Amino acid sequence: MTLKILGRVTSINVRKVLWAADELGLGYEREDWGQPMRDPKVPEFLALNPNGQVPVLIDGDLVLWESNAILIYLAEKTGMLLPQDLPGRGLALQWLIWQGTELNPPWGYALNALVRKTPGFNDADKLADSIARWSRVMLILEAQLADGTPYVAGASFSIADIAIGLSVHRWMMTPFEKPAMRGVEAYYGRLKARAAGQAWMGAGTP
């Protein structure tokens, strides 16, 4: 049964799922949902995801939302992209959950002000606060990677690197002065060297 992925490719959370499917060699059909293309807050879509958000994965009878849960599902389904040893798996899941709960929230204001140019996002103090909070969590990532650790949970590439890699891409593509982060920069280069990474970390998709 072919997987179905609902969501626009301009969404970072949709691109997580597309990158994972490509790494895993899973075929899929994708349907554009999400503003401005197709409003997900309509009954037809809300019946699939009551949050009215993308992505949604459909695998046979299963309908799944929350991008990081979808990544775990695809890794479990294939037995790939999560370490087999329990400590390694714990660390990969730690970083994956950290992406959603700690790394993602601070960037909202800066992204709207500097990349999306959303009307109303012109408060200098709020922008400075967003940048400061985003920079603080990025320094946690830098501390993890500074000694040349290749991937966020250690030696092997995992689904945590997909979620965090796209977040690093967003950091790199958002124009403001950033502290030097050699470990993060090298990590970004490693991820972009992967065919699937390169495909989903394009210049037009911060």
Ligand X SMILES: N[C@@H](CCC(=O)N[C@@H](CS)C(=O)NCC(=O)O)C(=O)O
Interface positions with ligand X (CB under 6 A) = 11-13, 34-35, 40, 53-55, 66-68
Classify the C-alpha dihedral 80-86-87-91 as positive or negative.
positive
Tokens matching residue 139: 């320094």
CB of 112 to ligand X, least distance (A): 13
Tokens matching residue 189: 């280069």
Q: Which neighbouring-strand residues pair with 58?
A: 4, 63
CB of 87 to ligand X, least distance (A): 26
**Where are the extended beta strands (E) located within the chain?**
3-6, 28-31, 56-59, 62-65
Q: Rounded distance, CA 95 to CA 55, Å?
A: 20
The residue among 67 and 135 lying less far from ligand X, judged by its C-beta, is 67
Q: Rounded distance, CA 94 to CA 81, Å?
A: 14
CB of 138 to ligand X, least distance (A): 19
CB of 149 to ligand X, least distance (A): 25
Q: Rounded distance, CA 113 to CA 34, Å?
A: 20
- Residue with the shortest CB distance to ligand X: 34
CB of 12 to ligand X, least distance (A): 5
CB of 34 to ligand X, least distance (A): 3
The burial of 108, by beta-carbon neighbours within 10 Å (0-12 exposed, 13-18 middle, 19 or more buried), is given as middle
Tokens matching residue 125: 């103090």
Chain-centroid distance, C-alpha 130 = 18
Q: What is the DSSP letter of 99?
A: I
The residue among 67 and 144 lying less far from ligand X, judged by its C-beta, is 67
